[in-house]
Amino acid sequence: MQLIKGSEVAAKVLAECQQDIAALAALGHKPGLAVVLVGDDPASRAYVRSKDKKCRDLGLHSVKLELPAETTQEELLAHIAALNADPAVHGILVQSPPPKHIDESAVVLAIDPRKDVDGFHPVNVAKLALEDSSGFVPCTPAGCQRLLLDAGVETSGAKVVVLGRSMIVGKPMALLLMAKGKGGDATVTVAHSRTKNLAEVTREADIIIAAIGRPNFVRAEHVKEGVVIIDVGINRVEDPGSEKGYKIVGDVAFDEVAPKCRAITPVPGGVGPMTIAMLMANTIKACKQLVGA
Ligand code: NDP
């Protein structure tokens, strides 16, 4: 069984980013990412901090905008308009979820699609469906595809089951895997909460991408021998024995499923580190496209 170590692949992606950053610096450009947080949700705050830190570590220009929970929709849209117009900012991300009074889809629509490094704007969703490589692919599924490529997993002609149909993971993942070319050309089935006889569906799969947000949901009976699994899930479960009182587990019951796998990602240390690395890569791509480098 091959353990697909996301931290190692993420380090490779970041090393590639560094080369691009040096090439852009030689031309007088510095990629910039703005991360906007509304409110004080502790998990969101931690995500924003780690994105800001990663930018600074790489030598990117980083703008961290932490706005109070009472920020109005209008005020937030004004901040986004200012970032759209700021030539030092090439990527803009509004941390999800915003407070309830904010209309998230209006926020996504307000971001200049050329700076939409999350890949959530309808223009970028369409570009993904159209296989137009100038668009931005959402970071998590892009990271999963890179993990498969790096692990030497052949997707062409493979039967892939994507578990979950969210706009952040499942749906773009399916589009990437069914696209023509390297890392694609798969026969994709998307399963979700209404799927009947799920175990029968997943047992057919050569590759499973698990993105449902249910701890240890995928069990040994869901998979066939020799399957490759990318576990996107990040779930907190109680762990009274640990210092924090909880631990993070994936959507896959790793201990019982891993022995049947040809390859599998761990949680943590699998998809998680890839997401932030792909965000850096998307920011650099946005910079290159905006400055014409
Ligand atoms: P969502 O809650 O938006 O979507 C979950 C999907 O799973 C839905 O399509 C839902 O079906 C489906 N689902 C839920 N329960 C079942 C079930 N019992 N059987 C079959 N399908 C089911 O989650 P996300 O896509 O945002 O995230 C999924 C997981 O990935 C979470 O654990 C999240 O924390 C993690 N994640 C990890 C990231 C990383 O960087 N590693 C980044 C983003 C997410 P339906 O549509 O019918 O409701």
Is 118 tagged catalytic?
yes
Cβ neighbours for 161, distance < 8 A, ≥ 6 positions apart: 188, 189, 190, 191, 201, 202, 204, 205, 207, 208, 209
Residues 110 and 151 in one domain: no
- Whether 154 maps to a domain, the answer reads yes
Cβ of residue 271 lying under 6 Å from some atom of ligand 1: yes
pLDDT value at residue 156? 98
Please say which residue of 66, 100, 115 terminates a domain. Answer: 115
Instruction: Work out the average pLDDT over 167-191.
Output: 98
Atom of ligand 1 nearest to the CA of 169: 25
Q: Reply yes or no on whether the pLDDT at 181 is more than 90.
A: yes
Q: Residue 42: which H helix or E strand, with range?
A: helix 42-58
Residue 120 CB contacts under 8 Å (≥ 6 apart), including other chains: 108, 138, 167, 168
Ligand 1 centroid to residue 58 C-alpha, Å: 30
Average pLDDT, the chain: 97
Query: Region 157-186: what's the mean pLDDT?
Result: 98
State the pLDDT at residue 202: 98
pTM beyond 0.95: the answer is: yes
Task: Indicate which CATH number applies to the domain containing 107.
Answer: 3.40.50.10860
Is residue 7 situated within a structural domain? no
Q: What is the pLDDT of residue 22?
A: 98
| Structural domains in the chain (count) | 2
Query: Which residue out of 20, 52, 54, 95 is catalytically annotated?
Result: 95
The closest-lying atom of ligand 1 relative to the alpha carbon of residue 192 is 21
pLDDT of 90 over the 90 cut? yes
- Claim to verify: residue 59 and residue 91 sit in the same structural domain: yes
What domain range is 67 assigned to?
28-115
Per the document, the length of the chain is: 293
Query: Quick one: pLDDT band at residue 55, thresholds 50, 70, 90?
Result: very high
Position 293 confidence tier, pLDDT thresholds 50, 70, 90: confident
Task: Extract the tokens encoding 169.
Answer: 């993971």
pLDDT in tens, 219-253: 999 999 999 999 999 999 999 999 999 999 999 99
Same domain, 86 and 147: no
Q: At which of 99, 115, 131 does a domain end?
A: 115
Q: Which of 162, 163, 192 to mutate to test the pocket of ligand 1 (most atoms within 8 A of CB)?
A: 192
